[in-house]
Amino acid sequence: MKRKPICISLLILSTLTCLAQQQSLISGSIFTNDYLPAEGANIVLLSDSDSAFITGTAANKNGNFQLREIRQGSYYVQISMLGYQRNTCKANVLAGKSFMLDTIYLQPEAVGLNTIVITAKKPAIQIEADKTTINMEAAIVNAGGNAFSVLETLPGVYINSNGTVSLNGKNGTKVLIDGKPAYLQGEELVSFLKSTPATSLDKIELITNPSARYDASGNSGLINIRTKRTKIMGFNLGITSNLMQGKYEKSNHSISFNHRKGKFNLFGMYGYYSGRNYVDLQVIREFEEENPSEQTTFNQLSYRKRNEGSHYYKGGVHYFASSKTTFELALNGYTSNQAESGSLNSSFINHIGKRDSSIKSATINDNLRNNISGTIGLIHKIDSTGKEFSLSADYLHHAVDNDQYHNDLFLYTSQNEVMAESAGTKKGTIDLFSMRSDFTYPVNEKLLLESGIKSEYVNID
């Protein structure tokens, strides 16, 4: 009787050991074109079959990286870094064996600048214990893009086709705007990021270990997008325009102004994004059977095209009551319109190459999104050591209007056709009101205490 549990334990241990041995390691080294380590380069592992996100990481100070616990299979390793062209490598991983990529050298993106005058320069990337900060002033190649195109190249950040954001391979990453939740997810978040000009960004913080200041929902990491606040006196005007051409064109245009006089600072911005993109995919699956006459091949062809345009606006005023106290009143929002059409043809083919059955599908989606938010608040710097108190009230209204049409045509061996159609409209609104107060107290250079209180009211219709 005593031998039975021992045998079971050994069996479980043996099984776990066997499973652990099936996982492998992908490693490599990344350098810039001038042979310097590409510290902070973004490495993303994608499935070869459907480009699904598997995991990701960032290169260390020596340009080295490792992707652990990888199962046997075929993958693509995608490398990107601010200011450099994206690089993609193939990796065929065998069970229990490590896979090392050839040394990768990143080539700079072409930037058409006639003259560059540098009066002061921030480091492009600042790495701290709990976060990595990307200073946008150092990323001049992104001056004409948008927030979405910037995030795609940041170390450890990956955004899939559904708009899900991952940081260092962890899903559920939350996006903040100036320290406040964006309250957007999926395609709504992507639309907002694409409508936000890169010229409006000051820096982006990739926070891997959020402090008590942030909500507990950010345990998978936070991305805090800090927008610019001009400190220059007088009137300033900025205009940017950017055009990208692939199979289809994409463009970003923005105009911004800032007028600071005395204790008042008036600011505003308008941005427009227009783009077309597509997905063209073929999937072939072969089902092998012991009897050759029962072998089947599944062939699927899909094509999707999307036209989208979005408008972003922001305006407000700062009142500097003193050198330590600032009041803010701001309004911002965006409008996005997406028109998407797609087709899907799927066929089952028998062992002699004849079609057994097929499905032809067509979809048309029109999406209209409106988002507007306002904030009023104050920030008081208690002293020069970093002690700070802040108080704010925010309101957000988000509306979605989605028209959908779907058509399926089933064709069987008997040549019988069956058609199924569906159409509908999905509408929804979210109204959110929140108030929060935060207090920051630096004890010393290594210890920072933060506390706060927050209240929210949400109405979803």
271-290 pLDDT, tens digit per residue, is 888 888 888 888 888 887 77
Q: Is residue 119 part of a domain?
A: no
Give Cβ neighbours of residue 166 (< 8 Å, ≥ 6 apart).
53, 56, 157, 158, 159, 160, 173
Do 145 and 282 reside in the same domain of the chain? yes
* Phi, psi for 199 (deg, rounded to 5): -65, -15
CA distances from residue 78 to 43, 47, 317 in whole angstroms, order as listed:
6, 11, 42
Residues 91 and 217 grouped into a single domain: no
How confident is residue 266, by pLDDT bands cut at 50, 70 and 90? very high
CA distance 364 to 221: 35
Q: Using the structure block, give the residue that is written with the tokens 């086709």.
A: 161
Predicted confidence (pLDDT) at residue 2 exceeds the cutoff of 60: no
Q: Are residues 333 and 363 in the same domain?
A: yes
Within a domain: 11 = no
Query: Which two tokens mark 170?
Result: 């962890």
- What's the pTM value of the predicted model, to 2 decimals? 0.64
Give residue 124's pLDDT band: very low, low, confident or very high (50, 70, 90): low
Mean pLDDT to the nearest integer, 139-150: 67
CB 369 within 8 A of CB 399: yes
Please write the tens of the pLDDT for every residue from 318-353. Answer: 999 998 899 999 998 889 898 999 999 988 888 787
Q: Residue 62 is part of a domain; what is its CATH number?
A: 2.60.40.10
Spatial distance between the Cα atoms of 154 and 206, rounded to a whole number of angstroms: 9
Asked whether 271 and 289 are in contact (CB, 8 A), the reply is no
- The confidence score (pLDDT) of residue 129 equals 64
DSSP designation for 7? H
> Is there a domain that residue 14 lies in?
no
Verify that 155 and 43 share a domain, yes or no: no
Whether residue 366 contacts residue 339, with contact meaning beta carbons closer than 8 Å, is answered with yes
One domain, residues 284 and 225: yes
For residue range 198-235, what is the model confidence (pLDDT) as tens digits? 888 888 888 887 776 666 555 678 889 988 877 778 89
Alpha helices in 183-244 (DSSP H): 186-195
Question: Could you tell me if 43 and 141 lie in one domain?
Answer: no
Higher per-residue confidence, 419 vs 325: 325
Contacts of residue 404, Cβ cutoff 8 Å, sequence gap at least 6: 363, 364, 365, 422, 423, 424, 425, 426
The CATH number covering residue 448 comes to: 2.170.130.10
What pLDDT is attached to residue 4?
42
- Number of domains the chain is built from: 2
**Tokens 């998407």, residue located:** 340
From 50, 71, 106, the end of a domain falls on 106
Rounded CA-CA distance 217/224 in Å is 14
- 418 plus 299 within the same structural domain: yes
Q: pLDDT confidence of 1, banded at 50, 70, 90?
A: very low
Do 64 and 176 sit in the same domain of this protein? no
Its domain, for residue 193, covers 125-460
pLDDT of residue 426: 85
Residues 278 and 422 in one domain: yes
Average pLDDT, the chain: 81
Higher pLDDT among residues 1 and 344, named by residue? 344
